[in-house]
Amino acid sequence: MSQKVEILEIEEVTHNVRAYTFEKPDGYSFTPGQATEVAIDKEGWRDEKRPFTFTSLPDDDYLQFVIKSYPDHNGVTEQIGSLEEGDQFIIDDAWGAIEYTGEGVFLAGGAGVTPFIAILRNLYDKDEIESNMLIFSNKTENDIILREEFEEMLGDQFINVITDEPTDEHIFLDGFIDKQFLAEQIDDFDQPFYVCGPPAFNDAMIKYLKELGADPDALVFEE
């Protein structure tokens, strides 16, 4: 069922990522990692639905998305980037995307980290982060979404990989995460793996993980 919800707050997260906090309809429910179809309540855009993952927690009295805008795409995310507080989204019911199945390794490429935000926030809120690890690949340091929050939640279990600029502070790879890198960073492939990023990133990570001995049934990724 589609519902209109008002945007209450817009917060800058990075140079091209914003957090949108908006009304939570009575009785609306979701689980961490779930998404919904979203449209903009403006002429010409109401039928242009796109999936976005909730980054708020189920018990919050509001809903939230963290969305990267792509100005050169001339599409929905560009339009969302121009929205203001008081504008409205049209949202549907929540549906399953990535489901947490136990302690493991989260592998994210760029904006692909968004399905993991509510999962990790929920674990942290319940003091259940345990040995969960996040390996987060970005082109530059300025692209790192919620860097300080991930550092607080995960400590040394938050590994930043920068691919397009040399860095002393984080791991710099002249290219993308490869099989050797995963073998060096992960000492147990008999655990769940959560993968989300661009299609090429997902395909490569799943291929490498299987080659390194990960159980295909323990690979959780967004189709």
For residues 116-147, b (16+ Cβ closer than 10 Å) or e, as one string?
bbbbbbbbbeeeebeebbbbbbbeeeebbbbb
Question: What phi and psi values does residue 79 have, to the nearest 5 degrees?
Answer: -65, -40
* 77 and 113 co-located in one domain: no
What is the predicted pLDDT for the residue at 50? Answer: 93
Mean pLDDT value of segment 106-127: 96
- CATH number at 139 reads 3.40.50.80
* 58 and 153 co-located in one domain: no
Question: Could you tell me the residue range of the domain that residue 60 belongs to?
Answer: 3-91
The dihedral built from the CA positions of residue 50, 14, 206 and 150, taken in this order, carries a sign that is: negative
**Exposed, middle or buried by CB within 10 Å (0-12, 13-18, 19+), for 60?**
middle
Domain assignment present for residue 96? The answer is no
* 111 and 83 co-located in one domain: no
* 38 and 113 co-located in one domain: no
* 58 and 119 co-located in one domain: no
* 179 and 124 co-located in one domain: yes
Residues 150-164: pLDDT tens digits? 999 999 999 999 988
Mean model confidence pLDDT for the chain: 93
Which of 44, 66, 91 lies at the terminal end of a domain, its last residue? 91
Domain assignment present for residue 99? The answer is no
State yes or no: pLDDT of 97 exceeds 90. no
Residue type, 23: E
State yes or no: pLDDT of 179 exceeds 70. yes
* 179 and 130 co-located in one domain: yes
Domain assignment present for residue 54? The answer is yes
Domain assignment present for residue 112? The answer is yes
Domain assignment present for residue 27? The answer is yes
Total number of domains constituting the chain: 2
* 122 and 86 co-located in one domain: no
Number of Cβ within a 10 Å radius of residue 196: 25
Residues 125-139: pLDDT tens digits? 999 999 999 999 999
- CATH number at 75 reads 2.40.30.10
* 121 and 19 co-located in one domain: no
Domain assignment present for residue 191? The answer is yes
Mean pLDDT value of segment 186-198: 95
* 153 and 62 co-located in one domain: no
Domain assignment present for residue 17? The answer is yes
State yes or no: pLDDT of 73 exceeds 90. no
Mean pLDDT value of segment 85-114: 95
Confidence of residue 221 (pLDDT cuts 50, 70, 90): confident
Residues 15-49: pLDDT tens digits? 999 999 999 999 999 999 999 999 999 999 999 99
* 144 and 65 co-located in one domain: no
Which of 64, 91, 118 lies at the terminal end of a domain, its last residue? 91
Does this model's pTM top 0.75? My answer is yes
Rounded CA separation 67/216 (Å): 30
Around 132, how many Cα atoms within 13 Å sit in the side-chain half-sphere? 25
Q: Which residue has the higher pLDDT, 165 or 120?
A: 120
Q: Are 123 and 129 in contact (CB under 8 A)?
A: yes
